[in-house]
Every structure is written in structure tokens, then in C-alpha cells.
Amino acid sequence: MLLLVGLGNPGAKYAGNRHNIGFMAVDALARAYKLGPWKKKFRSEVAEGSIDGVRVLAMKPQTYYNDSGHAVAEAARFYKLTANDIVVFYDEIDLAPGRFRMKKGGGAAGNNGIRSIAAWYDDDNFRRARLGTGHPGDKDKVHGHVLSDFAKADAAWVEKLLDAVVKAAPLLAQGDDDKYQAEVMRLAPAEKAGARAKPGESES
């Protein structure tokens, strides 16, 4: 089984936040591949089904972003998953808006959701689908930036990126992260405009 985790905060007031693009990605995958119905399990909303013949469980932890590890570890241990069976979709401020990068393991780069998963699961070598949302340019503005809604001007690239994440998903399901990344960026080449990324200043 492949566990597809979207990071975000539960509740309507957070639904359009940059911090919730992980939820948006998992929702898009669930719709496209007819996963579900959604139900409450593992302190999360989960939907089960398959992508390209691979059994998947889509998960949106309801523990709030910074404590996502509780839910992920619970599900991973229940299904006896390895780190390679876990893919986490989340917002990455150190990538320009619309950029997409896959990464396996490594540090949390200041992202508290990723830090929580690594701590509770006790293994940080899980797969990470990083959805670029850009940096506000000042580390003191990061908190407000990630917890604010996407601007109307962002709608086009957000939709295109999520659509690409969905269309390329069979490559992800088969474990080919390099090809998945390349196909997502081919389908949704990032614009150069928008909030800039500043490597090394990620805080969330």
C-alpha cells in the first residue's frame, strides 16, 4: 500500500491557505482516481482505492499541520508500511510558486509538519512531494504568508500544478519519483513571476 499524505489545517477558515496545498493535492487525487468515500480514521480523513493498480490510502491529518506525525505514524504502523511507502504532499516556501520537486529523506528545513512526521514515525526517509508556494522575502512574514489564502492571481498556476500532480500520479504509484517530478513540471512549467523563494529561510 502507498500512503498519500496531504499536509494542511482542518476547517473552512484554512481551506484556501497556502499551507493547505497538500490537502488540495490529495483531494484532487481522490477525485480523479475515485478514491473513497472519505471516512475518519487514524486522526485523519482517509480515502482508499488504487492508482494504476497500486493500492493507495489518501490521508488528510486532522491534528493540525504541525502535529501531522501522530496520524501518519498511526496509519503507517497499522499497515506495516516502510518509509518508501509514504509520500507527503506539502507547501514548500523555498521553491518558487508553481515549482515542484520530489525529495526522499533529509532534514525538515524548518517545516514543522515534516519534523513531526519524522519524529513520530522515527524515520525521516519518507518521500516528499514539495509544492512551491514562494517566500514572502522576509522571514518575519513567513507565518502570515503560509496562513493566508492564495491570491486570485495564483489560481491559474495552482490549478495547473494540481492537475499535473494528478495526471502524472501513475509514475508516483510505480515508485519512479524522478520521472514523476519531470512529468509534473512538463505538464505545469512554473512561471517566473510571483513571490520569490529564499533557500535556507523556511519556517512554518
pTM value is 0.92
Number of domains in the chain: 1
Q: What is the pLDDT of residue 192?
A: 57
Hey, which residues are catalytic here? Answer: 19
Residue 180 lies in a domain: yes
> Does 195 fall in a domain?
no
Do residues 21 and 75 make contact, with C-beta atoms less than 8 angstroms apart? no
- Give the pLDDT of residue 106: 86
Do the domain assignments include residue 76? yes
Contact present, 42 and 71 (Cβ < 8 Å): yes
Q: Summarize pLDDT for 9-25 with one digit per residue, the tens.
A: 999 999 999 999 999 99
Q: Is 82 left (phi over 0), alpha (psi -120 to 50) or beta?
A: beta
What's the pLDDT band for 144 if we cut at 50, 70, 90?
very high
| β-strand partners of 86 | 3
CB-based burial of residue 87 (10 Å sphere; 0-12 exposed, 13-18 middle, 19+ buried)? buried
CATH number at residue 39: 3.40.50.1470
The answer to whether 46 and 39 have CB atoms below 8 angstroms apart is: yes
Range 61-83 average pLDDT: 96
Q: Domain of residue 160: give its range.
A: 2-187
